[in-house]
């Protein structure tokens, strides 16, 4: 019988049918961070249980770590307690930890791929909604809650209902300056933030095949913002080349790698396999996207304008009004007339080396506009080292931007990098909810290239006209 990519991986991991549509699923990789793990480890300790597979569990601190020079000295008491708890829990359970100060520390969704921890055909979970990122390897990766984290720590399995299969095909060829970020923002504005509810996306088509691993990771990262459980891309030569390149400590090497590739080649959707839902998006004329509201689905072309209250099919006029009030915007304002005072380049969506290269390439020899603060935060320490080797830090410094150490940083207001009330930010992250980057802060989601161009101009510009 013809099967989808998702079904092949799912079926290979079912330990037991529990009835009622639920199965017990084997988990290959468990990624852990400081925010959602303390209670899970505590629960395990109280129950007198051990971590079942410490060798398949990898942890780091990313959300609430400082990213400035003084990052080793955490002063916030909650942050410190969570970071200390993870340090202790890893030490007592034998889980591999990439601690603050380690060359391999970084945002958990950046370091999983980077270290070769996540590979095609695997099931991957983490107590974090953006776990979908790892699906870019052709793996089933999804976020779980803290009680589920405890369950996986104890058993290396999870009770799950099987999501439906949703095919998202991107056809055509992107124009220069238009990126994976624009593709996924477009998808979300088309189907809404609940469009993928109960589903796993399979991203396919010519425009996906042409993307680097970094681009695929960006798209899968935001599958969750369209409501999906997971997002997958079938592995191909781009995937295999990524895995065999660089210094990926945990990936198979030599003959083992060759053998693994033969296995990974089975992970594709069979001819004739059926999907529950399908959408096709032609990217040929896709314009760079900018969000104008307080949900990732509230976005439009940079060439467009802030919509009329009744012109957004996925949202009611009242919702649009509320979003615009929060954002301090009026319908009819051209997107390119929106001025910004902050730029954030980083996060698990766009904090990889390719993202920083793209932003640096644009900003080289230019200056950040007067009154604009630009923060560039590598997604991991490995990304930081690589960027510094390529002297990208110099380019950002010379342009007037701040260069930081790795962490979630301004993606969410859980550490010192925050927007102040009414500050307006061009951000490469994935969420623009009220208060997401700081109380009263206003977030516009864009690609790294668009963020760099906005930093220089002081307002949004169509990057295509700058190239
Ligand atoms: C703090 C964490 C649980 C949260 C998530 O689940 O995604 C965070 O990473 C986010 O991006 O909002
Ligand atoms: S970078 Fe942002 S989206 Fe990613 S894990 Fe951190 S807080 Fe969540």
> Residue 98: which CATH number?
3.30.499.10
Q: Please indicate whether residue 125, judged by its CB atom, sits closer than 6 Å to ligand 2.
A: no
**Does 311 lie in the same domain as 219?**
no
Residue nearest to atom 6 of ligand 2 (CA): 408
Regarding whether 371 and 257 lie in a shared domain, the answer is no
196/311 same-domain check:
no
**pLDDT in the model for residue 201:** 99
Choosing from 233, 265, 297, the residue where a domain stops is 265
In whole angstroms, what is the distance from residue 21 CA to residue 160 CA? 8
Assigned token pair, 450:
């668009």
pLDDT of residue 195: 98
21 falls within a domain: yes
Q: For residue 62, give the ligand 2 atom closest to its CA.
A: 6
Neighbours of 303 (CB within 10 A): 14
Q: Which of 146, 159, 125, 124 is nearest to 41 (CA)?
A: 146
At 456 the pLDDT is 98
User: In this structure, are residues 165 and 198 in contact, taking their beta carbons and an 8 Å threshold?
Assistant: no
> What is the pLDDT, as a whole number, of residue 207?
98
> Does 63 fall in a domain?
yes
Query: What's the pLDDT score for residue 253?
Result: 97
296 C-beta closer than 6 A to ligand 1: no
Residues 245 and 363 in one domain: no
Atom of ligand 2 nearest to the CA of 351: 1
Q: Is 279 inside any structural domain?
A: no
272 occurs within a structural domain: no
Ligand nearest to the CA of 348: 2
Task: Return the pLDDT at 174.
Answer: 98
Which ligand approaches the C-alpha of residue 128 most closely? 1
Q: How far apart are CA 458 and CA 381, in angstroms?
A: 29
373 and 327 in a single domain? The answer is yes
Tell me: do 312 and 347 sit in the same domain. yes
Residue spans of alpha helices (H) in 227-369: 237-244, 254-264, 317-327, 347-350, 353-363
Is position 411 annotated in a ligand binding site?
yes
Question: For ligand 1, atom 8, which residue shows the shortest CA distance?
Answer: 128
The secondary structure of residue 285, as a DSSP letter, is: T
49/123 same-domain check: yes
143 Cβ closer than 6 Å to some ligand 1 atom:
yes
ipTM above 0.85? yes
225 and 90 assigned to the same domain? yes
**In angstroms, what is the span from residue 130 Cα to ligand 1's centroid?**
7
Domain range enclosing 325: 289-465
Are residue 205 and residue 323 in the same domain, yes or no?
A: no
Residue 32: predicted pLDDT? 98
Residues 205 and 310 in one domain: no
Does residue 405 form part of some domain?
A: yes
Distance 133 CA to ligand 2 centre (A): 11
User: Is-contact 344 377, C-beta < 8 A?
Assistant: yes
Report which ligand 2 atom has the smallest distance to the Cα of 349: 4
Residue 32 lies in a domain: yes
For residues 38 and 267, give the distance between their C-alpha atoms in angstroms, rounded to a whole number.
35
Asked whether residue 378 is domain-assigned, the answer is: yes
Do 224 and 90 lie in one domain? The reply is: yes
271 located within any domain: no
pLDDT of amino acid 134: 98
Q: What tens digit of pLDDT does each residue of 142-154 get?
A: 999 999 999 999 9
Residues counted in the chain? 467
The answer on 305 and 193 residing in a single domain is: no
The single-letter DSSP state of residue 86 is H
Total domains, the chain = 2
| Residues in the chain where the model's pLDDT stays below 70 | none
């Amino acid at each position: 019988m013809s099967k989808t990519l998702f079904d092949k991986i799912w079926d290979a991991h079912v330990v037991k049918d529990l009835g009622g549509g639920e199965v017990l699923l084997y988990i290959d990789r468990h990624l852990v961070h400081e925010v959602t793990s303390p209670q899970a480890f505590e629960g395990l300790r109280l129950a007198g249980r051990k971590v079942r597979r410490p060798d398949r569990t990898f942890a780091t601190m990313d959300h609430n770590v400082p990213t400035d020079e003084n990052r080793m000295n955490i002063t916030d008491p909650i942050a410190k307690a969570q970071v200390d708890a993870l340090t202790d829990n890893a030490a007592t359970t034998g889980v591999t930890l990439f601690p603050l100060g380690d060359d391999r520390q970084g945002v958990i969704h950046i370091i999983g791929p980077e270290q070769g921890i996540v590979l095609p055909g695997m099931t991957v979970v983490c107590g974090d909604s953006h776990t979908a990122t790892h699906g870019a390897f052709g793996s089933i990766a999804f976020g779980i809650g803290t009680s589920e984290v405890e369950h996986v720590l104890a058993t290396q399995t999870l009770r799950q209902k099987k999501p439906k299969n949703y095919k998202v095909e991107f056809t055509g060829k992107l124009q220069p300056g238009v990126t994976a970020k624009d593709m996924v923002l477009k998808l979300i504005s088309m189907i809404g933030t609940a469009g993928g509810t109960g589903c796993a996306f399979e991203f396919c088509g010519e425009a996906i095949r042409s993307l680097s691993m970094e681009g695929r990771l960006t798209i899968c990262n935001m599958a969750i913002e369209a409501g999906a459980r997971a997002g997958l891309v079938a592995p191909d030569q781009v995937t295999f080349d990524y895995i065999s390149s660089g210094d990926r400590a945990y990936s198979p090497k030599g003959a083992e790698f060759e053998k693994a590739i033969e296995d990974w080649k089975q992970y594709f959707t069979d001819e004739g396999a059926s999907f529950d839902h399908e959408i096709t998006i032609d990217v040929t004329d896709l314009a760079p996207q900018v969000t104008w509201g307080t949900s990732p689905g509230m976005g439009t072309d940079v060439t467009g304008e802030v919509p009329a209250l009744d012109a957004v099919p996925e949202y009611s006029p009242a919702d649009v009004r509320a979003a615009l009030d929060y954002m301090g915007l009026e319908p009819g304002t051209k997107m390119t007339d929106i001025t910004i005072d902050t730029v954030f380049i980083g996060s698990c969506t766009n904090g990889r080396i390719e993202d920083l290269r793209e932003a640096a390439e644009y900003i080289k020899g230019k200056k950040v506009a007067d009154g604009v603060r630009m923060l560039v935060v590598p997604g991991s320490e490995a990304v930081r080292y690589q960027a510094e080797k390529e002297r990208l830090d110099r380019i950002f410094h010379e342009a007037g931007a701040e260069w930081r150490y790795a962490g979630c940083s301004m993606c969410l207001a859980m550490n010192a990098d925050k927007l102040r009330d009414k500050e307006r930010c061009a951000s490469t992250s994935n969420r623009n909810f009220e208060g997401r980057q700081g109380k009263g802060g206003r977030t516009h989601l864009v690609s790294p290239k668009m963020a760099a161009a906005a930093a220089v101009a002081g307002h949004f510009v169509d990057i295509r006209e700058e190239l």
